[in-house]
């Protein structure tokens, strides 16, 4: 039978932002409820070696790290439910959400931590080689390609910034772009063209990602096609970084909350407060710049602290959440 869950603080998303918000809120006595969503653990569940999360001298596995996040949140008293929110009304008080399970969630306040997903090319070999030479985050994985040959696929600011970052680590960087000019800002282009270990292949698209032979397969080459001549060429690389943008998971909230043109939730500077009182946004869903686990966790902490303060100043005449129906 469908159930109705009531909570002072509802947290949507179970990545670093959502779990950190849950940890801080639970320790503050708010008894938060986390609805884990489609991908509990967020993007770290598809990340192998993690070397840049503070506190671990040796590389750790992304899925293991997220299990620790979950265990800590549960240990301090956060409720965690495996469900997917399919509908939500942010204008209602209490905020009312409906799960795929048929359950209803009523909350005084809300933290949106539904994250963002990297856009992928969708070519053969890409999914199988993700984490084995193929990545969508140079800041996360560039360290593993020191002194090696890498490709960056894309032509916007993200691609050029990724290439610039990698040029400080890799022996050489090749940017593969389907057009004959970048869409990136001019100053970024100038910096890129000034790097001696960077080259650009114009009017090329990646058709397939090719793996090494043997039991432990990894990227060995990209099969590219010249969009003008149709010529096919296999180019050897140790790593490939897909940089064609990210999509924040905000479709559920469209038309109900302030967003930018790309669907990222807008928050006040230096805060996680959104355009709706009592609704906070944390992690990649509102961060189009850094998109790191540690920064997501930081904003999760901020969201919980701001939610606690907001709840403490609710009007005295507001009914207790247990009485809401």
Residues with a known catalytic role: 137, 140-141
**Entry field: residues in the chain:** 325
Contact between 196 and 172 under an 8 Å Cβ cutoff? The reply is: no
Cis peptide before 94 (omega within 30 of 0): yes
Tokens standing for 316?
């005295």
Place of tokens 């001019």: 186
Question: In sequence order, what are the residues at sequence separation of 6 or more whose Cβ sits closer than 8 angstroms to the Cβ of residue 152?
Answer: 138, 159, 162, 163, 166, 173, 174, 175, 176, 240, 241, 243
Separation of alpha carbons 301 and 102, rounded Å: 30
Question: Where does 79-211 have alpha helices with state H?
Answer: 126-129, 138-141, 157-167, 186-193
Token representation of residue 237 = 């690389």
Looking from the CA of 125 toward its CB, the CA atoms found within 13 Å total 19
């Amino acid at each position: 039978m469908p159930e109705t869950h009531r909570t002072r603080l509802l947290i949507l998303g179970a990545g670093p932002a959502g779990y950190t918000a849950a940890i801080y809120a639970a320790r503050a006595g708010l008894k938060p409820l986390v609805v884990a969503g489609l991908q509990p653990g967020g993007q770290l569940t598809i990340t192998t070696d993690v070397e840049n999360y503070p506190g671990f001298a040796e590389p750790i596995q992304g899925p293991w790290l997220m299990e620790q996040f979950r265990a800590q949140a549960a240990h301090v008293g956060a409720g965690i439910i495996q469900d997917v929110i399919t509908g939500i009304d942010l204008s209602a008080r209490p905020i009312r959400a409906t799960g795929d399970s048929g359950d209803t969630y009523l909350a005084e306040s809300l933290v949106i931590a539904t994250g963002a997903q990297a856009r992928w090319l969708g070519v053969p070999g890409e999914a199988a080689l993700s984490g084995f030479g193929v990545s969508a985050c140079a800041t996360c994985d560039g360290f593993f390609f020191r002194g090696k040959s890498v490709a960056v696929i894309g032509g916007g600011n993200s691609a050029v910034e990724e290439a610039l970052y990698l040029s400080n680590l890799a022996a050489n960087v090749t940017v593969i772009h389907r057009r004959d000019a970048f869409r990136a800002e001019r100053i970024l282009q100038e910096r890129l063209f000034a790097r001696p270990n960077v080259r650009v292949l114009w009017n090329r698209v990646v058709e397939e990602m090719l793996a090494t032979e043997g039991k432990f397969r990894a990227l060995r080459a990209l099969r590219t096609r010249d969009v003008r001549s149709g010529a096919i060429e296999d180019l050897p690389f140790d790593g490939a970084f897909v940089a064609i943008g990210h999509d924040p998971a905000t479709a559920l909230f469209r038309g109900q909350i302030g967003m930018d043109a790309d669907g990222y939730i807008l928050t006040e500077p230096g805060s996680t407060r959104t355009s709706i009182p009592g609704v906070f946004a944390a992690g990649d869903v509102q961060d189009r710049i850094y998109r790191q686990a540690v920064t997501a966790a930081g904003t999760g902490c901020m969201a919980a602290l701001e939610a606690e303060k907001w709840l403490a100043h609710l009007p005295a005449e507001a009914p207790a959440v247990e009485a809401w129906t």
